């Protein structure tokens, strides 16, 4: 099967363009050098690459400054964990001897070598483990070719490298995601091996989780305590990703004879079979894409009377489904894409002028048969059900026709929406 691989540089460009279109510019060449906070604000010193020093005061600071985070260090947050002993090579090159447009993995007793197809800056991204006995201080095309020969039995010829680097990997997590008015997100909060390709995705979801909570706090729509739910929701996810990628890394690099045989002989047979089985492929996709994560134990997840649902309950991500609203075909995700909270009043039996719908500032949508039949099935709706969807697309509250518990939820987290 052919896949399109989007490089991280390309992904970052898409996000930067999106911000630019909304009037937000990312300032490059500006370094945060000092940080302090008191009860009311955070003060930061920024050094511009062309000399000027700027002093900024802000209600909150989010450190998205990578594994060596200065923000984390200046906030006094420990980064707990260790480094793996292996050295890896990463290179963007052209190559002969590979089927184009398809990812290739070669396994050997030494470890694994990957070729990922790229659109630019070269045709292939090579990722390979160097032998423990030869970590190498630098990397040349000849070094990468020797590695490629070992893994591919000389089948692949590399040429025209764009860039190459040696790197080590670490597995560490911040002891806290928050120090009063300072937060950590992305690699600043957790770093792990790229096994499973989870790092950037986890960081983006950290940012999505925190951004709307900060916005609600700053506008006064939510109490400051909503910010505590960031670490409550994201730290367990960070720990799980670290644990899973650590396991995958250990299997990929172990020198244990049994693991080496399993890696070289059993995995190449079993994994393609698992990926071909519909259930197996779906499970792999949901895990790697992180669409199956949820926050059922979060203080922000509440279930009202007649609202429990094992698969689409409070804390779960709202599933998508086609809708026919106002005659125009739309989807559940499109319906709830606008900023803010969305209240889905599902099934029949809701008074036309349901008090909450009239009085509140929630965006209210009614889902009923026949226009929303598929959505109601996917939402596992039997009787009348109220589903309150957070700005990040997760279900905050699910309950039945009795709206008392929903009112209590809105009163706690969105007091100005009542």
Ligand X SMILES: Cc1cc2nc3c(=O)[nH]c(=O)nc-3n(C[C@H](O)[C@H](O)[C@H](O)COP(=O)(O)OP(=O)(O)OC[C@H]3O[C@@H](n4cnc5c(N)ncnc54)[C@H](O)[C@@H]3O)c2cc1C
At its nearest, how many Å lie between ligand X and the CB of residue 220?
A: 29
Examine residue 370 and say whether the peptide bond preceding it is cis (omega within 30 degrees of 0): yes
- Per CB under 6 A, 65 contacts ligand X: yes
Instruction: Find tokens 């039949």 and name the residue.
Output: 373
Q: Is the dihedral of CA 12, 15, 17, 20 positive or negative?
A: negative
- DSSP codes joined into one string, 224-262: GGGGHHHHHHHHHHHHHHHHHHHHHHHHHH---HHHHHI
Question: Which one among 70, 108, 217, 373 touches ligand X, defined by CB under 6 A?
Answer: 70
Query: Cβ closer to ligand X: 197 or 277?
Result: 197
At its nearest, how many Å lie between ligand X and the CB of residue 31?
A: 4
Question: Which one among 32, 107, 248, 251 touches ligand X, defined by CB under 6 A?
Answer: 32
Query: Cβ closer to ligand X: 127 or 306?
Result: 127
Q: Are 271 and 120 in contact (CB under 8 A)?
A: no
- Per CB under 6 A, 280 contacts ligand X: no
- Could you tell me which stretch among 61-69, 156-164, 240-248, 320-328 binds ligand X (CB under 6 A)? 61-69
- Per CB under 6 A, 238 contacts ligand X: no
Residues from 369 through 398 that contact ligand X (CB under 6 A): none
Residues from 173 through 202 that contact ligand X (CB under 6 A): 186-188, 194, 197-201
Query: Cβ closer to ligand X: 201 or 374?
Result: 201
At its nearest, how many Å lie between ligand X and the CB of residue 264?
A: 22
Nearest Cα to 301, choosing from 321, 317, 287?
317
At its nearest, how many Å lie between ligand X and the CB of residue 255?
A: 21
Q: Do β-strands 302-303 and 395-399 pair in parallel, antiparallel, or remain unpaired?
A: parallel
Q: Are 396 and 413 in contact (CB under 8 A)?
A: yes
Instruction: Find tokens 């992305």 and name the residue.
Output: 186
Q: Dihedrals φ, ψ of 195, to 5°? A: -60, 120
Number of residues interacting with ligand X: please give it, by CB under 6 A: 19
Q: How far apart are CA 190 and CA 185, in angstroms?
A: 8
Q: Are 185 and 64 in contact (CB under 8 A)?
A: yes
Question: Which one among 66, 280, 322, 340 touches ligand X, defined by CB under 6 A?
Answer: 66
Q: How many CA atoms lie within 13 A of 200 on its CB side?
A: 9
- The footprint of ligand X (CB under 6 A) covers 8, 31-32, 64-66, 70, 90, 127, 186-188, 194, 197-201, 203
């Amino acid at each position: 099967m052919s896949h399109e691989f989007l490089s991280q540089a390309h992904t970052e460009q898409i996000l930067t363009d999106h911000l630019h279109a909304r009037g937000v510019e990312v300032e490059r060449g500006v370094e945060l050098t000092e940080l302090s906070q008191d009860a009311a604000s955070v003060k930061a010193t920024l050094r511009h690459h062309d000399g000027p020093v700027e002093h900024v005061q802000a209600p909150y600071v989010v450190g998205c400054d990578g594994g060596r985070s200065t923000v984390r260090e200046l906030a006094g947050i420990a980064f707990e964990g260790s480094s793996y002993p292996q050295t890896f090579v990463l290179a963007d090159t052209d190559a002969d001897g590979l089927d184009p447009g398809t990812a290739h993995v070669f396994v050997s007793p030494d470890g694994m070598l990957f070729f990922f197809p790229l659109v630019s800056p070269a045709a292939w991204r090579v990722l390979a483990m160097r032998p423990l006995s030869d970590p190498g201080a630098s990397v040349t095309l000849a070094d990468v070719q020797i590695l490629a020969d070992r893994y591919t039995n000389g089948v692949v010829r590399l040429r025209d490298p764009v860039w190459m680097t040696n790197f080590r990997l670490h597995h560490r997590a911040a002891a806290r995601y928050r120090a009063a008015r300072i937060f950590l997100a992305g690699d600043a909060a957790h770093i792990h091996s790229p096994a499973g390709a989870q790092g950037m995705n986890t960081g983006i979801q950290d940012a999505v989780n925190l951004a709307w909570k900060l916005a609600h706090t700053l506008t006064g729509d939510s109490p400051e305590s909503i910010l505590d739910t960031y670490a409550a929701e994201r730290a367990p996810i960070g720990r799980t990703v670290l644990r899973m990628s650590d396991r995958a890394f250990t299997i990929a690099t172990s020198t244990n004879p049994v693991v080496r045989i399993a890696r070289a002989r059993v995995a190449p047979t079993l994994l393609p079979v698992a990926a071909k089985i519909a259930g197996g492929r779906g499970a792999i996709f949901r895990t790697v894409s992180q669409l199956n994560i949820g926050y059922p134990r979060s203080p922000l997840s509440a279930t009202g009377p007649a609202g429990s649902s094992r698969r689409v309950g409070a804390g779960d991500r709202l599933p998508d489904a086609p809708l026919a609203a106002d005659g125009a075909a739309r989807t559940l995700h499109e319906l709830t894409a606008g900023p803010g909270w969305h209240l889905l009043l599902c099934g029949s039996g809701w008074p036309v002028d349901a008090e909450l719908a009239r009085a509140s500032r929630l965006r209210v949508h009614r889902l009923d048969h026949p226009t929303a039949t598929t959505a109601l099935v996917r939402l596992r709706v039997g009787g009348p059900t109220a589903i309150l969807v957070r700005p990040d697309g997760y279900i905050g509250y699910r309950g039945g026709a009795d709206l008392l518990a929903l009112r209590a939820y809105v009163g706690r987290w969105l007091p100005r929406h009542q």
